[in-house]
Amino acid sequence: MPDRTDLLVVGAGPYAYSAAAFARDNGIESHIVGRPMGFWREQMPADMFLRSGPDWHLDGSGEFTFEAFFEDRGMRPEDFDPIPISVFLDYTEWFRERKWLDLDDRLVTGLTKPDAGFVATMDDGTTITADKVLAAPGIGYFLNLPEWYADVPPARRSHTSELVSFESLAGARVVIIGGRQSAYEWAALLCDHDAERVDVVHRHSTPKFAKVNWRFVDQYVDQTLTHRGWWRSLSVERQTAIAAEFWQVGRLTLEPWLVPRIPDAVVTSHPGCAVVDTTVSEHDVTLSLSDGTALTADHVVFASGYRADLARVPYLGGVVDRISTTEGFPALTEGLETSLAGLYLTGFASIRDFGPFYGFTKGCPSAARIAIADMTR
């Protein structure tokens, strides 16, 4: 394993793969560390499906795309609609091999910048020195949980990123907090595994179930590539309008293939409701809702999303006080660089300055192009 590199890429998920590969394509010596697609493999259910299609890919150079993977494997995209997560994971491994990305599966436990360069301490006690660092912290660091979360005993609660196996909840009464894709997909997975009853509680109205065309995002990503700092140059009103469009299409419209898997006899939606009280007994939990309903559950699932807070990323502890933040998000330059020179951040942590689409794999190749172009300016 090297003890120094020009660019250290911390994380081994889609954004990290894209950045490391594009750096290599542009002659930058890079080293990528982390568990290969760890969050996707360990904190997502094996029976999960993607919402996106084969046009979302990882290659900033546009060669080893998801569509190229289908062609290489002799697979027809129309036979995989929706796309199983296993197929996407196969693509990421194919991409890694085609790009000659040698992954170092050790974890970074600490990052410092004692002088012009960075020093990353690894979980085996060794260090790697780097001129620049690109960090792609996964959403697993940023769980968004309600204040009453701690009132539910640990054995009777899970965030969706923690609940990836459902066999133990066969015959159980489950309440899901949240009303977006993950909430209803976890409801479907619970039904697939014979849960007795599933109640889905959320403050907004019941989402529609309809086929979504994600092509509307393409123009925004293209603008980001064409005009440096495009998102931040928009008026607040325009940003709000685009975010509302993204919310309507991406959040309040859910995939129609869920419908036959969430039978009315098992799944009940509680739109426009919030939990106002919790009562814990020896065997279950009772949640009192704002409409007066009381739900007794064996388990509570929090599909409550994610909220950025850079202070929650352990390996950034040694430098976080040198990174300017706003509401937990890093303040990024037009090239995805933080206020700590030489440290770049991509993925969910970048959505405040680059738009909501950079919290999804759609943003991977363009984020890689933006960051690497900045490093070579």
CA distance 29 to 333: 23
What is the average pLDDT score of the chain? 96
Please state the rounded mean pLDDT for residues 208-229. Answer: 93
Please state the rounded mean pLDDT for residues 324-334. Answer: 97
pLDDT in tens, 101-115: 999 999 999 999 999
Q: How far is CA 313 from the centre of its chain?
A: 14
CA distance 279 to 271: 21
Nearest to 301 by CA among 182, 205, 191: 182
Confidence of residue 21 (pLDDT cuts 50, 70, 90): very high
Residue 248, pLDDT score: 86
CA distance 316 to 138: 13
Tokens of 329: 């998000």
CA distance 14 to 347: 9
Residue pair 370/225 in contact (Cβ under 8 Å)? The answer is: yes
CA distance 376 to 132: 11
Please state the rounded mean pLDDT for residues 234-244. Answer: 95
Residue 67, pLDDT score: 98
At residue 139, the 3 state secondary structure works out as: helix
Consecutive H or E run containing 15: helix 14-25
Nearest to 177 by CA among 247, 270, 46: 270
Tokens of 285: 């939990």
What is the signed CA dihedral for 48, 254, 77, 246, rounded to 10 degrees? -110
Please state the rounded mean pLDDT for residues 243-264. Answer: 91
CA distance 120 to 315: 9
pLDDT in tens, 210-219: 998 899 999 9
CA distance 152 to 279: 9
Residue 15, pLDDT score: 98
Residue 79, pLDDT score: 96
Determine whether 334 is exposed, middle or buried from the number of CB atoms within 10 Å of its CB (0-12, 13-18, 19+): middle
Residue pair 6/338 in contact (Cβ under 8 Å)? The answer is: no
Residue 223 has a CB neighbour count (10 Å cut-off) of 14
> Is it the case that residue 2 has pLDDT exceeding 80?
no
Residue 74 has a CB neighbour count (10 Å cut-off) of 6
pLDDT in tens, 146-185: 999 999 999 999 999 999 999 999 999 999 999 999 999 9
Q: What is this structure's pTM?
A: 0.96
Please state the rounded mean pLDDT for residues 78-105. Answer: 96
